[in-house]
Structure 1
Amino acid sequence: MKTLGILGGMSWESTQSYYRLINQGIKNTLGGLHSAKLLLHSFDFADIERLQAQQDWDSLADMLAEAAVSLEHAGAQAILIATNTMHKVAPEVASRLTIPLLHIADAAADELQRNGHKKVALLGTRYTMQLDFYKKRIHDATGIEVITPELAQQEEINRIIYEELCQGELLSSSRDFYYRTIDELAGQGAEGVILGCTEIGLLVSPENCTIPLYDTTDLHCAMAVKWAAA
């Protein structure tokens, strides 16, 4: 089994999901008493969010790259960034490593393509929805069209992520808003929805949606398990 390095704490709520899902995946794959070989660098999310708000991506790239390199030196054989938004700096992080960086958008793209989708919706932080680093990677890899909600809906989705989900709050009013937004996107032709923030899966569930949900936390962890157990 290979050792995975995780850049986490962005937020810790989703990082604990990574730890659980990867260990469950290794257990299911290898059986017995097997558990995952993991190294974790957990950031103080307040520091990350402050730089995000300033759109200081250079400083963020340096922070994550330095931590990733330290995990490589400690024995990690591949790196996971346990958040969608911070894949904005994935190229800069990868360029500092001699080991693979397993990209979360690639995990989503593979599953979307496997299911034959032509048009999907993306929910996430405003950075993930508005910048091209995520949508373009999926489109370039698969040709799938990626749409996002209207601007006012994006702002509310973003607010819920930072003010509620990243602080452990799961409100029914916010859940209802997400479901209404998904229904509108389905009406615009979306055949599925990428949950492009690792906390959104804590709030919404597939059984309450009219189109498939693609939880990127689940998909990223499945990619990591397959790589580590191979």
Structure 2
Amino acid sequence: MLKHYKTIGMIGGIAPASTVDYYNRLISRFQERTGQREYPSIIINSINMTHMMELITNENLDELVDYLSEEIFTLEKAGAKVVFMASNTPHLVFEPLAQRVKTKMVSIVDSTIAYAQAKGHNRLGLFGTLSTMEGDFFQDGFEASGMEIITPMSDERKYIHKVYMEELIRGRFLPETKSRLLSIAARMYSEGQIDSLILGGTELPLILKSSDMEDIELLNTTKIHVERILDAAIG
């Protein structure tokens, strides 16, 4: 019965908590969308996040492409037909990766752009790692689609990155951290900077929920990404 569905390959472990979230969402949404109690074929390659982040921090992007492409080749050899990375940050090298590997890759950025356009958002805040907030891979894609990405102030960006790396990727979700993150988002909204907020780190939806802010939509990039992955896998 499942022969019509493509095997999904996940580059995971970046970080473990979000990998588990992706896994659970893929299964539950697959069953909801197909109306069957079947389970999709998912291959997870849990990679070394410490090594990946060191390459990004040191701006060794060519080496990062080499590293990630080899890990994707592992998924291809195992039979994956649709591949994705369970993290926003490594999408800064998505284009060269997609050109190098054979398998169809599903981008979290492109998925979020399509979703935001459909929702009519224009000025979107962006939370994530420093590489995500200060890089151009979100900004360029959104600007090309007629939308604007707004990032927090410099000290706020540093704070978000710090708690991301020291707490969130380790599965620690503290109430005081949540309160500070929400206060940053509230400031950006009250000053008229943003009409919505992209949770541009796949651990962020584990601490910030849609119900936490009444005035603006929080875009859960994991949730959005999962739908596009399943679009490709179900066909």
Counterpart contact for 1:68–1:93, Cα < 8 Å: no
Measured after TM superposition, the shift of residue 189 of structure 1 is 2.9
Counterpart contact for 1:69–1:96, Cα < 8 Å: no
- Corresponding residue SS for 1:6: strand
The corresponding residue for 1:171 is: 174
Q: Aligned pair count?
A: 229
196, 207, 211: which is aligned to 2:216?
211
154, 158, 161: which is aligned to 1:158?
161
18, 22, 26: which is aligned to 1:22?
26
The corresponding residue for 2:227 is: 222
Measured after TM superposition, the shift of residue 61 of structure 1 is 1.2
Amino acid across the alignment from 1:89: V
Alpha-carbon deviations, 1:202-228, whole Å to 9, x = none?
A: 111111212100010111011111221
Counterpart contact for 1:121–1:193, Cα < 8 Å: yes
Amino acid across the alignment from 1:145: E
1: CA distance, partners of 2:180 / 2:30 = 35
70, 74, 93: which is aligned to 1:70?
74
Q: Does 1:36 align with 2:40?
A: yes
2: CA distance, partners of 1:89 / 1:213 = 25
2: CA distance, partners of 1:63 / 1:97 = 12
137, 141, 160: which is aligned to 1:133?
137
Amino acid across the alignment from 1:175: K
2: CA distance, partners of 1:129 / 1:149 = 8
2: CA distance, partners of 1:133 / 1:144 = 13
TM-score for both structures, normalised by structure 1: 0.96
161, 170, 182: which is aligned to 2:185?
182
Q: Does 1:81 align with 2:79?
A: no
Measured after TM superposition, the shift of residue 99 of structure 1 is 2.1
99, 102, 109: which is aligned to 2:103?
99
- Corresponding residue SS for 1:7: strand
Measured after TM superposition, the shift of residue 148 of structure 1 is 0.4
* Structure 1 unaligned blocks of 5 or more: none
123, 126, 129: which is aligned to 2:127?
123
The corresponding residue for 2:118 is: 114
2: CA distance, partners of 1:103 / 1:138 = 13
Measured after TM superposition, the shift of residue 8 of structure 1 is 0.7
- Corresponding residue SS for 1:106: helix
Runs of 4+, deviation exceeding 4 Å: none
Counterpart contact for 1:65–1:92, Cα < 8 Å: no
1: CA distance, partners of 2:165 / 2:104 = 29
Measured after TM superposition, the shift of residue 78 of structure 1 is 1.6
* Structure 2 unaligned blocks of 5 or more: none
Q: What's the RMSD between the two structures over aligned residues?
A: 1.1
1: CA distance, partners of 2:36 / 2:224 = 23
2: CA distance, partners of 1:49 / 1:119 = 29
Counterpart contact for 2:47–2:71, Cα < 8 Å: no
2: CA distance, partners of 1:69 / 1:95 = 13
Amino acid across the alignment from 2:25: L
Amino acid across the alignment from 1:157: I
